[in-house]
Amino acid sequence: MTLETVKQDFKSHLNKISAYQEALGLIFWDLRTGAPKKAIENRSEVIGILSSEVFNLSTSDKMAEYINELNANKSELDELTVKMLEECQKEFDRNRKIPEDEFKKYVILKSKSESVWEEAREKSDFSLFEPYLKELVETTKRFVGYWGYEGNPYNTLLDMFEPGVTVKDLDQVFGSVREAIVPLVKGIEKSTVKPDTGFVYKHFPKASQREFSVHVLKELGYDFDAGRLDETVHPFATGLNTGDVRITTRYDENDFRGAVFGTIHECGHALYEQNIDPALTGTPLSGGTSMGIHESQSLFMENFVGRHPEFWRRHLPALKEYSPEQFSDVSVEDFIAGINESKPSLIRVDADELTYALHIMIRYEIEKGLFNNEFEVSELPEVWNKKYKEYLGVVPSNDAEGILQDVHWSGGSFGYFPSYALGYMYAAQFKQAMLKDLPQFDEYIANGDIAPIKNWMTEKVHRFGKTKKPLEILKEATGEGLNAEHLIKYLEDKYSALYQLERAK
Amino acid sequence: MTLETVKQDFKSHLNKISAYQEALGLIFWDLRTGAPKKAIENRSEVIGILSSEVFNLSTSDKMAEYINELNANKSELDELTVKMLEECQKEFDRNRKIPEDEFKKYVILKSKSESVWEEAREKSDFSLFEPYLKELVETTKRFVGYWGYEGNPYNTLLDMFEPGVTVKDLDQVFGSVREAIVPLVKGIEKSTVKPDTGFVYKHFPKASQREFSVHVLKELGYDFDAGRLDETVHPFATGLNTGDVRITTRYDENDFRGAVFGTIHECGHALYEQNIDPALTGTPLSGGTSMGIHESQSLFMENFVGRHPEFWRRHLPALKEYSPEQFSDVSVEDFIAGINESKPSLIRVDADELTYALHIMIRYEIEKGLFNNEFEVSELPEVWNKKYKEYLGVVPSNDAEGILQDVHWSGGSFGYFPSYALGYMYAAQFKQAMLKDLPQFDEYIANGDIAPIKNWMTEKVHRFGKTKKPLEILKEATGEGLNAEHLIKYLEDKYSALYQLERAK
């Protein structure tokens, strides 16, 4: 067989894996957006069979042959094939260590757990979800055993979402962010500035919130010919292919912020996936390079664009059209003060920009503790509530607003949460670098001219998909490695101004 | 390997095929109900890959081994395994004759053709669709060449939808139905009875039509925990599994009949799929036994239930709630007369119960002609219009209301249309037999007590899935073979009464 033939067969093999993943992506989207209840039982079987096939194709002897053959001729390969090869090898090495039947059981477990979690959350009853979470944690621990780890078992899980980041890094970086946030939170508590947020909680009909969300998505460059907006319990964006990147959101008729900022957040994720080089479609490189970089895109959109004062100078009039009574008396300044109110709270996704990181640190510490056998799944509600008291000074009154609030664990995602905080740092670093190329940043926002901003991100981040590693993208775009100082400075500037805080020198 | 092991492996193999088909079913549903435009290109690749995998699994050497092994031990097999074996063998024998690459191209062609058809129909431009239809016909002719045929090449296509039915049967049966319909249509033309249909065309908002459709579906026993209702250009029902049978409908704000009777029609299909024995899930036996029997279920629901005078004595008050102005002055008698108006028309799906069969006969004759090389695809608009003039006395003024109106050909379905007329006959035969067991039929409808009717159908038809052949089901349920007389008598009775026609003796 010629090398050219091997390359072609390898490519077809990857196309097949990608096709199954696209079908699975649609199935998951459908399960969350409106599949009937009784569909789930057999659909879980379908998920099991398809995932198991993906697993087989990624770990098959055939794949081993491709990897060996291509590695033996690596110097003759084009760059793209090398990247695909490396991606496959990483996946191969990781998956080959898990017995097929265990993996299949795990996939079915995940699918069922998500449904059970939804029910448990509705009923605010952790005991319903507990046995599933326990099995998920045990399975994941067993998998870490198969994979091995360096330093800390949790490092292996972190590496799946943010290659190269370790518990040691996070303890350090999270430490310095915490040191900056805590005095700000205390300062805000003592500040005499108390933004009026009455308008936030006024009734805003779901249908109108949806219309406004669509309006904003269009302004931000989200391509509706390559996506759609639906409603779910837990909002997400999913890229089935670059021509089909779907967003979901959640509408609270008595607090429009969830839907509006949630939609803008998911829009950031979606712009990433819509703008990956289409030449990568059907390969394992057509996706975000890491969860942290992905999150940097959503947080950039949410905080640096969506909470920008100029953004609301432009969009408040439109918002007033969709809910006239609610906003008629609200000035732009009051609106900006109101939507940027910072106050310790219980629900992560509703948290403000400043205290959000504390929610992440709690989850990080819980996951780290779980995988270092510091406590059991059954103790989680207690541990959770204790940490909320300690970090944020608030205590959940039930499981739904505590331990059951996040979908992640029900999908087996452990090690994912820290990406949110890393995304914050990346986003602040991108913003810093972008300002050098686009000094008129504020003006673009004021004029609704988002294209230069989007194009910068596409040029520096989106288009590469997984052809570059997270720190490679960061370095090339900003000239630096991971650096928390830009985020810290941004938060200090912003909240000192909003709450007229004295700056410690 | 023991026979037990072979059976288990065979079952797993079938589960896999069924899982891929379920994923494909969801993909098709999604493409028709709201997938973004740019999704299509890569989604077509996904469809191609998955379908090709189904094809491979159904025609693999592995399948050949199962078939041989099980056939060699047929006497020791349970009945269900025998049925599965026979179903697989039929599929195997048919598919093995088509080269894999041709099949894959065909599947991709079908998927693209459906999109092109939608566009062509929107623009009312047959020339857009013509090259695709030409390729579909040529491919199908080539396939018939691979499969072989007896008597007439079109018989092979008929057999795929209604095993055992031939051109000879249809020429005869359609002949006698036509002989009965033509005098009725002429009588109605001359009748002085002219039902007032003004109320039909009054504005009925889409959202309210949807609500009424949901109301009716619930009354008819459609299980919303095992399905959902969406909107499409061409309404359909699709059974992904028995716990997920989805219905779509089309809303015309100036003619509510399409949505209401369309929904009731699709409900009949859906009840069939929702009530197949769940033990058959994951096997090739979990589906309707033939297109004709499937259509008998939808037409039974639409005509014998949904157009029953007692049905509207019960439901007109509800309809008045959803569109008060439209129906306020309409009596039940006027309503029944209005919705049963018979008048030659252009669009099949909007045709009345009496002239509907003529629409089918036109399509039957066109398909028969195409596959007997009597005319070319390019001549179809002309042939179509000529036949409409001849049979119904009406001529389409454009392609959208003529040759482009049906989705079927764009999906490669040739030989399907006759099932609609067969379904009519079966339905009338089932009704006749049901009356013997349920003489209070009219009363049940009057009281909205559909359960006994639905249960009779489940008992006699639904639950068997494909474990019984169409004529077997018909014979066991009615004691007869195919018999057009019940349908003819029903139509004569109904329309003679509605239009006060003199009965020829």
User: What is the pLDDT averaged over residues A75-90?
Assistant: 96
A92 and A179 share one domain: no
Say which range, A101-110, A309-318, A358-367, B54-63, has the weakest mean pLDDT: A101-110
Helix axis angle for A291-299 and A470-478, nearest 10°, is 40
b/e sequence B22-36, b meaning 16+ C-beta within 10 Å: bbbbbbbbbbbeebb
User: Are residues B26 and A22, on separate chains, in Cβ contact within 8 Å?
Assistant: no
B78 and B174 share one domain: no
Is the CB of residue B35 less than 8 Å away from at least one CB of chain A?
yes
For residue B96, what pLDDT band results from cuts at 50, 70 and 90? confident
User: What's the confidence (pLDDT) of residue A104?
Assistant: 84
Is the CB of residue B72 less than 8 Å away from at least one CB of chain A?
no
User: What's the confidence (pLDDT) of residue B220?
Assistant: 97
Average of per-residue pLDDT values in chain A: 95
The residue of chain A with its CA nearest to that of B45 is A19
Residue B53 φ/ψ, nearest 5 degrees: -70, -40
The distance from CA A74 to its chain's CA centroid, rounded to whole angstroms, is 34
- Evaluate if residue B49 carries a pLDDT over 90: yes
**DSSP character at residue A300:** I
Residue numbers of the domain that contains B364 = 167-498
A186 and A291 share one domain: yes
Chain A residues close to B11, C-beta within 8 Å: none
User: What's the confidence (pLDDT) of residue A504?
Assistant: 56
User: What's the confidence (pLDDT) of residue A350?
Assistant: 82
HEC string of B374-391 equals CCCHHHHHHHHHHHHHHH
How close, in Å, is residue B16 to chain A by CA atoms? Answer: 7
User: What's the confidence (pLDDT) of residue B390?
Assistant: 87
Listed in order, strand segments (DSSP E) in A340-459 are none
Asked if residue B60 belongs to a domain, the reply is: yes
Residue B304 φ/ψ, nearest 5 degrees: -85, -25
B315 and B234 share one domain: yes
- State the CATH number of the domain containing residue B381: 1.10.1370.30
For residue A24, what pLDDT band results from cuts at 50, 70 and 90? very high
Asked if residue A143 belongs to a domain, the reply is: no
The residue of chain B with its CA nearest to that of A22 is B46
A42 and A189 share one domain: no
Angle formed at CA B290 by CA B285 and CA B296, multiple of 5 degrees: 125
The distance from CA B31 to its chain's CA centroid, rounded to whole angstroms, is 19
What gap in Å lies between CA B334 and CA A128, rounded to an integer? 56
Q: Is A204 left (phi over 0), alpha (psi -120 to 50) or beta?
A: beta
Is the CB of residue B38 less than 8 Å away from at least one CB of chain A?
yes
Over pLDDT 90: what percentage of chain A? 89
Is the CB of residue B337 less than 8 Å away from at least one CB of chain A?
no
For residue B504, what pLDDT band results from cuts at 50, 70 and 90? low
User: What's the confidence (pLDDT) of residue A234?
Assistant: 83
User: What's the confidence (pLDDT) of residue B393?
Assistant: 87
User: Are residues A243 and B36, on separate chains, in Cβ contact within 8 Å?
Assistant: yes
User: What's the confidence (pLDDT) of residue B349?
Assistant: 82
User: Are residues B27 and A23, on separate chains, in Cβ contact within 8 Å?
Assistant: yes
Look at residues B284, B281, B427, B290 and name the one whose alpha carbon lies nearest to residue B353. Answer: B427
Asked if residue B128 belongs to a domain, the reply is: no
Is the CB of residue A231 less than 8 Å away from at least one CB of chain B?
no
Chain B residues close to A43, C-beta within 8 Å: 22, 240-241, 244
- Evaluate if residue A165 carries a pLDDT over 90: no
For residue B111, what pLDDT band results from cuts at 50, 70 and 90? confident
What gap in Å lies between CA A27 and CA A48, rounded to an integer? 12
User: What is the pLDDT averaged over residues B448-467?
Assistant: 97
A245 and A344 share one domain: yes
- The residue to which tokens 């990080």 are assigned: A364
User: Are residues B36 and A282, on separate chains, in Cβ contact within 8 Å?
Assistant: no
Condensed to tens digits (0 to 9), the pLDDT of residues B234-269 reads 899 999 999 999 999 999 999 999 999 999 999 999
Chain B residues close to A228, C-beta within 8 Å: 34-36
Helices marked H in A275-346: 291-299, 309-322, 324-327, 332-339
For residue B126, what pLDDT band results from cuts at 50, 70 and 90? very high
- Annotated ligand binding at B295? The verdict is yes
A353 and A250 share one domain: yes
- Evaluate if residue B331 carries a pLDDT over 60: yes
Over pLDDT 70: what percentage of chain B? 99
The number of folded domains in chain A is 2
B79 and B203 share one domain: no
Asked if residue A160 belongs to a domain, the reply is: no
Last-in-domain residue among B36, B61, B96:
B96
B293 and B429 share one domain: yes
A78 and A187 share one domain: no
The residue of chain B with its CA nearest to that of A280 is B42
Tell me the CB-side half-sphere exposure of residue B379, using CA atoms within 13 A. Answer: 11
Condensed to tens digits (0 to 9), the pLDDT of residues B357-400 reads 999 999 999 999 999 999 999 999 999 999 999 888 899 999 99
B contact test, residue of A111, A115, A241 with most B CBs within 10 A = A241
How close, in Å, is residue A60 to chain B by CA atoms? Answer: 17
Look at residues A209, A215, A213, A203 and name the one whose alpha carbon lies nearest to residue A325. Answer: A203
A335 and A418 share one domain: yes
Q: How many helices (H) and strands (E) does chain B have?
A: 21, 3
- Evaluate if residue B100 carries a pLDDT over 90: no
Residue B101 φ/ψ, nearest 5 degrees: -65, -35
Asked if residue B123 belongs to a domain, the reply is: no
pLDDT, greater one: B272 or B103: B272
Condensed to tens digits (0 to 9), the pLDDT of residues A390-416 reads 888 899 999 999 999 998 999 999 999
For residue A502, what pLDDT band results from cuts at 50, 70 and 90? confident
- Annotated ligand binding at A472? The verdict is no
- Annotated ligand binding at A269? The verdict is yes
Condensed to tens digits (0 to 9), the pLDDT of residues A96-142 reads 899 988 988 998 899 899 989 999 999 999 999 999 999 999 999 99
Q: Is A266 annotated in the active site?
A: yes
For residue A464, what pLDDT band results from cuts at 50, 70 and 90? very high
> B258 and B445 in contact (C-beta within 8 Å)?
no
> Residue A19: which of B36, B45, B241 has the nearest Cβ?
B45
B179 and B81 share one domain: no
Last-in-domain residue among B51, B73, B96:
B96
Last-in-domain residue among B74, B96, B118:
B96
User: What is the pLDDT averaged over residues B414-425?
Assistant: 94
Asked if residue A118 belongs to a domain, the reply is: no
Asked if residue A151 belongs to a domain, the reply is: no
- Evaluate if residue B162 carries a pLDDT over 70: yes
- State the CATH number of the domain containing residue B85: 1.10.132
Kindly name the residue from A86, A266, A310, A401 that is annotated as catalytic: A266
User: What's the confidence (pLDDT) of residue B381?
Assistant: 96
User: What's the confidence (pLDDT) of residue A342?
Assistant: 94
Here the ipTM equals 0.89
Sheet containing A229-231: order of strands: A229-231, A244-249, A237-241
Residues ≥6 apart with Cβ < 8 Å to B218: B224
The four Cα atoms B483, B487, B493, B494 give a dihedral, to 10 degrees, of: 170
What gap in Å lies between CA A430 and CA A428, rounded to an integer? 5
Residue B169: count of CB within 10 angstroms of its CB: 16
For residue A233, what pLDDT band results from cuts at 50, 70 and 90? confident
Element (H, E) at B411: none
Asked if residue B157 belongs to a domain, the reply is: no
B contact test, residue of A22, A242, A277 with most B CBs within 10 A = A22
- Evaluate if residue A503 carries a pLDDT over 90: no
- The residue to which tokens 């194009």 are assigned: A455
> B420 and B295 in contact (C-beta within 8 Å)?
yes
User: Are residues B42 and A49, on separate chains, in Cβ contact within 8 Å?
Assistant: no
